[in-house]
Structure 1
Amino acid sequence: MQTLTVVGHRGDPYRARENTLPSLRSAYAAGADAVEIDVRLTRDGVPVLLHDETLKRLWGHDRPLARLSATELRGLTGGGVPTLAQALAAAAGRRVLIDLPDAGPETVRTVVGAVHDCGAAEHVYYCAGASAMLRVREADPAAEIALTWSTSAPPRPALLEAVRPRWLNYRFGLLNRDLVARVHGDGLLVAAWTPDTKRSMRALLGLGVDAITTNRVETLAGLAPLTP
């Protein structure tokens, strides 16, 4: 029987604010096998959960995260933006997919180091584009990587050899049966993001993808034929 990894996109964002501890807990309770979180650094180098460069969309403050200390961030959000360490503790050994938007070398080194300091390396994996994933591979030769890929053309063999991903991570509209078969034929798993309708989820299941990241965890979990 086909297996599927159900991944909550930034937690369970239609039930709780994305990239917060309530959102993570809600996603796992709704049937997620893993939760995807976005991690950036504060001005003083603390890894925290935030997708955007600023607090404006989620927290109503037009303040760049990179200019805020962790203490200032707590004050502006009432402690609502968790640190990576808090998120990993809340995951309690369950799978976490760390997305590294716009991550430079310092961010990657700090995040990978924090994961190891928390004793979470065995249940964490990483996703982003090629440059960030090359840095993750350099920082942790054993890291599990989902290389985010934005075209149906295959990655260059030299890139695959350097990154050594376990997954190729595609926007769901790019996928078709031939592409999934080709990736599987290369010995890699196929991840898709971010379908939110039953129709698109069923279509991806029919293609044989291995993981789906969605904002509607409960809906996907109800459709998944078997989750690990």
Structure 2
Amino acid sequence: MTAPAPARTLAVAHRGDPYVVRENTLGSLRSAVAAGADAVEFDVRLTGDGVPVLLHDRTLQRLWGQEATLASLSYAEVQERSGGGIPTLREALKIMAESPGVRSFIDLPDPAAAEPTIAEVLESDAAARTYYCGGTAALLTIRAAYPAAEIALTCSSPVPYRAGLLRRLRPQWLNYRFGLLDEATVREDHEAGYRVSCWTVDWPRNWRRLTAMGVDAITSNRIRGLRRHLGS
């Protein structure tokens, strides 16, 4: 089976629009949508009391100047320490619903967040506009909890995944660290029925190389530049 050829390469905003607005915030999501993203990638983890929120790191140190781990704090404490800046997944999905043509691409760095995330997506009626990446444990949980989920299997090593995992996970996408890609890999993945996405690509020379290969989606911190490169 061969994957259908994309009408165009999709522009995916990495953690929103992080060079304009702080990553994984509602403002960053809005900025990415305004810049013309086809999809917005954001990270979901759980607070200590089980609330899915947007944060990539285990701690609040890098973005919010707080040494505490997210898992050690209640949602109320997270709000206090971030000045209300760390949004819930529910809030993020509500923002994304305002632009129904733009998809949510949820990254799950912590497998414990997978089941609460899919529950929130379904409750928010956002399943048709959402797809997922992350570690294999998180993605297997997503697949089990919602068999119709659209999954992008992260490929960060040149060692291919075992056929057994691919059968269990049934990803629609293979999502590569961009330096691993070449024309043969893209062609072979398309022939096997997968769509090909890549991350995190911020420079025009790499955008040109990857679009020439025929990748289906590019994730970038520089969504405005990528959008200009890809056109409308």
TM-score interval for Structure 1 and Structure 2 normalised by the shorter chain: over 0.9
Tell me which of 95, 105, 127 is aligned to 1:97. 105
Contact 1:19 1:49 (C-alpha < 8 Å) held by counterparts: yes
Structure 1 residue aligned with 2:83: 78
1:49 match: 54
Task: Kindly report which structure 2 residues correspond to 1:1-228, keeping only aligned pairs within 5 A, or say none.
Answer: 2-92=7-97, 93=100, 94-104=102-112, 107-225=113-231
Q: How far did residue 133 of structure 1 move?
A: 1.0
Q: CA deviation at 1:152?
A: 3.0
**Gap regions ≥5 residues in structure 1:** none
Q: Secondary structure of 1:125's match?
A: strand
For residues 225 and 76 of structure 2, the distance between their equivalents in structure 1, rounded to whole angstroms, comes to 37
Q: CA deviation at 1:225?
A: 4.9
> 1:78: how far off?
1.1
Q: How many residues align?
A: 224
CA distance in 2, matches of 1:179, 1:108: 29
Does structure 2 retain, via aligned residues, the 8 Å contact 1:2–1:225?
no
Aligned partners of 1:4 and 1:210 also within 8 Å: yes
Amino acid of the residue matched to residue 88 of structure 1?
A: L
Do the aligned residues in 1 keep the contact of 2:111 with 2:135 (CA within 8 Å)?
Answer: no
Q: Structure 2 CA distance, aligned partners of 1:102 and 1:50?
A: 11
Task: Tell me how far apart the structure 1 counterparts of residues 29 and 231 of structure 2 sit (CA, whole Å).
Answer: 23
Per the TM alignment, residue 159 of structure 1 is displaced from its structure 2 partner at its CA by 1.2
Query: How many Å separate the matches in 2 of 1:24 and 1:139?
Result: 26
Runs of 4+ in 1 over 4 A off after TM superposition: none
Question: 1: CA distance between counterparts of 2:160 and 2:80?
Answer: 45
Shift of 1:153: 3.7
